[in-house]
Each structure stands twice: as structure tokens, then as C-alpha cells.
Amino acid sequence: MRFGDITVAPGQIARAALPLINSPDGIPIDAPVIIVSGKRPGPRLWVQACIHGNEVGGTLALQRLVASLSPDALRGTLIAVMVLNVPAFRARSRESPIDHANLNRVFPGAPAGRFSDQMAHRIFAAAREHADAFLDLHSAGDAGRVPFYAIYHADGSAASRRARDMVECTGTPYLWASDARWLEGASFTLLTQQGIPATIVEVGGGEVTDEDLAMFERALRGTMAALDMTDERPAKQRSYTILRGSQMMQVRRGGILIPRARAGDILHEGQPLGDLVDPYGDVVETVTCPFPKGFVASMRRRGYVVHPGERVSIMLEVAGEEGARGDG
């Protein structure tokens, strides 16, 4: 396959660069890419890490995966974008240090837009050109943790159904069938709408643990197995907890967060998610579960200093249990 200025033949592993944007001094900013081209034909899987610059768990997991892959045993091509949002990565920041935009909210971007819009435009064009399937690796960054779960855009299309098959093979029983409006500008949403099955895997945050890397690797290998890129057996579950509605848990008061639940917990309506205490130690606000049955999809760390209106968690509504539906 041809990627930028290089050609990668079947059976080869190559390092490449994805042009993102130019810095003010004219020096190009490129994302590092590793391409593993299997000896046998098959799909092209685009996997990206660090769309948020402080979510490095996916990068470390991709390093492990690429080091263990043999092109001789691979059908198709793995396009591993090791660090996607290079400016945010350099700043150790979730958002862009230039325009403070969340890169995963501005797709498909614009060629004459803001800094992040221009980057998104180039990334989206490259993904559409090269990807038959797409996986985006996420974590909670350095401010909290997320449990191991997977997301697909549930619009009923053929690409969405294929994405459902992919997430069923990631090794987690928690699947978010998302139609959230606040993810309309996310790359996985728009790629699915354009016919490319696209998914997100969420794992960990803070210090990257060996357990986090093992879960990422399970998801990566399961996705490749779902696409018939390897002979490995995907880790399908007997049943899946399906998650649908979402709510950003924003606070009215400021304070210091004392969590009363952990990422991955399932709570019932009114159960406490966490307390905010003031410097005297008095509880000034208690955040509670808004759903009849809710899944704690992210949780800020203990001691996190919260300003009024900031988010301390994301809650997803538990819609029920389903058996496997995919074909992988």
C-alpha cells in the first residue's frame, strides 16, 4: 500500500508519518505511524492513540502489539497511528494547547478553519482514504479513570452493525450503543455514517498499569480477529450490558472531590456518586446517579479540585442485557 511518501509491500513493517499541520516557523508537524502489511490480503485496520494528548495508554499498548505482530501471520494491513494529536501530546494536555479545542469533537474539520479544524480535516481525509475499519483508543488521561468498555455509533446502518460485531470481540461485556449528540463531531461517529465501521475502546487513566495494557491488547487482538485479520479466536462474552443514554455529571458548586463510587460501578437512581467538600471539610454538594440504573463511565480522581460547572463523571444508562449479535 501507498501511505504518504512511502510504499509498504506485503510482508513489510514500515515507519511512516501522517502530516497534520505546519508550525509558525514552517516546520511540519507529523504524527508517527507504523504500518504492518500482512503477507496475505485482507482489510486495512486504522488504529489511533492519543487523540487526547494525555491519554498515552493506547500508545504503549500499540507499541506492544506492533512488536509482537508477524506480517507472515497477518491478513491485511494494520495502520497504527502511535500519537495522533502531537501538539496536545507535547503539552501533556487533553485539548489543543493552541486553540483549546477537543480534537474529537470537531470532525470532519475544515481546511480553512481553526488549528484543530485543519488537523481534523487532514486526519479525516487520510482515514477515509486508507481505512476499511477503524479503532480509536482512549483513557481518562491523568485526571481520573474509566472502566474497560467499548463504544459504537448505533444508527442501524451496515457499518454500524459491523462495528457492533467489532466491539463484541474486544473482551469487555460493556457496550455503549451511542447516539449521543455531543459525539456528533467524533471521528468514529462520522466514519460510521460514511460507511466505515468505527469503534472506541476506553481503558484506565492516571498511571498506566500492566492490567490496563492487557485490556487494550485484548481489545486490539479481538478487533483484528473480528475482521478475520488473524487466526486468533475473539473473546466474545455470553451476554453484554448495553449502555445507551448519557449524562455529563457537572457540579453546581466548587470544591474538592471525594468519590463515593468507582469507574465501572453500576448505581441506582439517587445513589451517591461523590461528594464535594470545601476547605473546612464540609460537604457542599453530593452528586447522585440520574438514571434508574446507571454505569459509571468515568470518574475523576480523589482530591480533584473542581470549579462550578465542571464535570466530575460521565454516567451512562443501563438499557439491559443482550446476547452476541455479530458474525465475528
Q: What is the CATH number of the domain that holds 78?
A: 3.40.630.10
Residues 177 and 309 in one domain: no
Q: How many CA atoms lie within 13 A of 30 on its CB side?
A: 12
Residues 105 and 218 in one domain: yes
Quote the number of domains for the chain: 2
Q: Is residue 325, in this structure, part of any structural domain at all?
A: no
Q: What is the CATH number of the domain that holds 275?
A: 2.40.50.100
Last residue of one domain, picked from the residues 239, 272, 299: 239
Residue 136's Cα: distance from chain center in Å? 4
End-to-end CA distance of the chain: 25
Q: Is residue 328, in this structure, part of any structural domain at all?
A: no
Does pTM surpass 0.85? Answer: yes
Residues 34 and 132 in one domain: yes
Residues 216 and 303 in one domain: no
How many angstroms separate the CA atoms of 202 and 243, rounded? Answer: 14
Give the three-class secondary structure for 264.
coil
As beta bridge partners, residue 65 has none
Q: Which helix (H) or strand (E) holds 132?
A: none
Q: Is residue 20, in this structure, part of any structural domain at all?
A: yes
How many angstroms separate the CA atoms of 201 and 136, rounded? Answer: 6
Task: Residue 229: give the domain boundaries.
Answer: 2-239
What is the residue-level pLDDT of the chain in tens, covering all 328 positions?
A: 999 889 999 999 999 999 999 999 999 999 999 999 999 999 999 999 999 999 999 999 999 999 999 999 999 999 999 999 999 999 999 999 999 999 999 999 999 999 999 999 999 999 999 999 999 999 999 999 999 999 999 999 999 999 999 999 999 999 999 999 999 999 999 999 999 999 999 999 999 999 999 999 999 999 999 999 999 998 899 999 999 999 999 999 999 999 999 999 999 999 999 999 999 999 999 999 999 999 999 999 999 999 999 999 999 999 999 988 864 4
Angle at the Cα of 286 from the Cα atoms of 282 and 288, rounded to 5 degrees: 165
Can you read off the three cell numbers belonging to residue 319? 438499557
